[in-house]
Homo-oligomer: A and B are copies of this chain.
Amino acid sequence: MKRDSRLSGVLHVLLHMAQQPGPFTSETLAKAMDTNPVVIRRIMAGLRDLGYVRSEKGHGGGWRLACDLSKVTLRDVYTALGSPALLAMGNRTEAPGCLVEQAVNAALDQAFHDAEALLLSRLGEVTLAMLGDDFRKRLGSRKLQGMRAHGA
């Protein structure tokens, strides 16, 4: 099954934007993510509708963050993407008349629902600000490594 990477992609964009004041054109962001500007606009549209980012047309236009990063969770971002399917598996048919299928669906649905709930819960515990902190920590580590490599 082909895996949906929009959540990963949009988080990448948001974190890059958090490092500089902006604005950022779709083309700039697309280059950083090695994709197409239209793809950027597509995945950012939901975020804009929910007020997490703003876009402006024309000269000096582009995308800007418009939210408190410590108040937006990964789950919020997921929702802004339209809450796409989380699980790669599903039942063969919904609303089955077959009792065998009902028994199978009931068991699978239970397991699927639990897994989805846990995933959403975990995503809800992580804010964009926390991701930013992690990024800066990694940046510090890399700098230290570089200094060591140069004999400092």
Known: A1-B2, A108-B7. A135 touches B88 (CB 8 A): no
Asked if A90 and B4 make an inter-chain contact with CB atoms under 8 angstroms apart, the answer reads yes
What mask results when residues 118 to 135 of chain A are scored 1 for a CB within 8 Å of chain B, else 0? 110011001000111011
Residues of B within 8 A of A42 (CB): none
Q: Give Cα A135 to B74, complex, Å.
A: 39
- Contact of A150 with B by CB under 8 A: no
Which of B4, B88, B103, B122 contacts A111 (CB under 8 A)? B122
**Copies per complex of this chain:** 2
Q: Can you list 27 A-B contacts with CB-CB less than 8 angstroms, sorted by A residue number? A: A1-B3, A1-B84, A5-B90, A7-B89, A8-B89, A8-B91, A8-B92, A8-B105, A8-B108, A12-B98, A12-B104, A16-B100, A84-B89, A85-B88, A86-B87, A86-B88, A86-B89, A87-B119, A99-B135, A99-B142, A103-B131, A103-B138, A106-B134, A107-B131, A111-B123, A115-B118, A115-B119
